[in-house]
Amino acid sequence: MKILVADDDLVSRRLMERMLERSGYEVVTAANGREAAERLSEADCPRLALIDWMMPELDGPSVCRKVRSKHDSRYIYITLLTSKQSSEDVVVGLEAGADDYLIKPCNTEELKARLRTGVRILELEDKLVEAREEMRYKATHDSLTGLWNRGSIVSDFDRELARARREDGVVTLLICDLDHFKQVNDVYGHLAGDEVLQSVASRLVNSVRSYDMVGRYGGEEFLLVLAGCDANLAERRAEEIRSVVAGRAIETSSGLLSVTLSIGVLTSDLWGNELGASQLLKEADKALYCAKADGRNCARIALPSLRELLTEVGRSHG
C-alpha cells in the first residue's frame, strides 16, 4: 500500500522512508505541509499518511483539515507525529481530522502495528463502499440484461425532457417491443428467451451513442432515450435500430433465432410543453400499438394528430 511521509527534517524523513519500504510500503515523501496537502489531493494519492505536526507552510493539523474538506470518496487514514504530549494537543489533532496520534520519537514496532490497524480500517471501508455500490447497481439496473431498470429509465426520460425544455432542446423516446416473443418462450423455452433478451439489449446499447440511455421497460419491451435527436433524425435512427436487431439471427442454446422489433417513436419538439413525461410515454406507446397493427417489424411516429385520431376512433366505438 502507498503511504505518504511528510516531515521537514530530511534525516527523519529518510529514516522513516527506509523503514517503511522494508515493511513493504510504497513510500511517497513531502518536505512541508503544502506539499503534503498537494500529494494527498492527487487522483492516485496514498491512502495512508504519516504527517509531522510542526512543518513549514502548513502544520500537521492544517494538512488534516485541508484533506478532510475535500470530501473525496476514498478515505485517507492520517497519523500525526509530534512531540506534543498534552491531552489538549491530542484533542486539537484528532478534531482536525487525524485518525491516530504518535509521540516522537516513535517506537518502530508500535508504529508498524498502528499502520496495520489503519490498513484494516481502509480495507473495511473499501468493502463497505463496494457493497454500497453493488446495492445501488441492483436498485437501478435490470438483473437479466444489465440495462437500466424501468424506474431508472423513466426517471432518466423525465430529467432529459425537463432539461430539453429548459434549454430549448429536444429529446426522442423509443419504445421497442420484440415481436411474437411469447412464441420464443413457448417453443424454445425461457432460457432461449433470456438469451434473446440479453442479445437484443447488447445490440441496442451498441446502436446508440454513449450518452444515450437504454433501459428494460417491461418483459420484452425496451425504452431508449436519445438526447438532442429531433424529429428529422428520429425516424432514421429508429429504422437503423430496427435493422440492427432484425438483420442478424441471434445465437441461443436452442439454435439461431430471428427476431424483430416494433417501435413507437416520440420526439418532444412535436408536442410542445403541455404534456408531462408520463403522458408522453403513453403517446409513444400508442405509436407502438400502431406499429404492431401495421404488421410489426416497423417504426411509427407519435404525432399530436394521431392522438386526436385515436381519440375520435375511441369515441365512435364508445
- Residue holding cell 504518535? 102
The C-alpha cell at 150 is: 424501468
Measured CA to CA, the distance from residue 145 to residue 52 in angstroms comes to 52
> What values do phi and psi take at 300, rounded to 5?
-130, 145
Residue 219 has a CB neighbour count (10 Å cut-off) of 12
The DSSP call for residue 208 is S
The catalytic residues are 220
3-class secondary structure, 61: helix
- Looking at the DSSP bridge assignments, the partners of residue 261 are 178
The C-alpha cell at 230 is: 429531433
- Residue holding cell 424501468? 150
Q: Is the distance from CB of 200 to CB of 266 less than 8 angstroms?
A: no
H-helix or E-strand containing 101?
Answer: strand 100-103
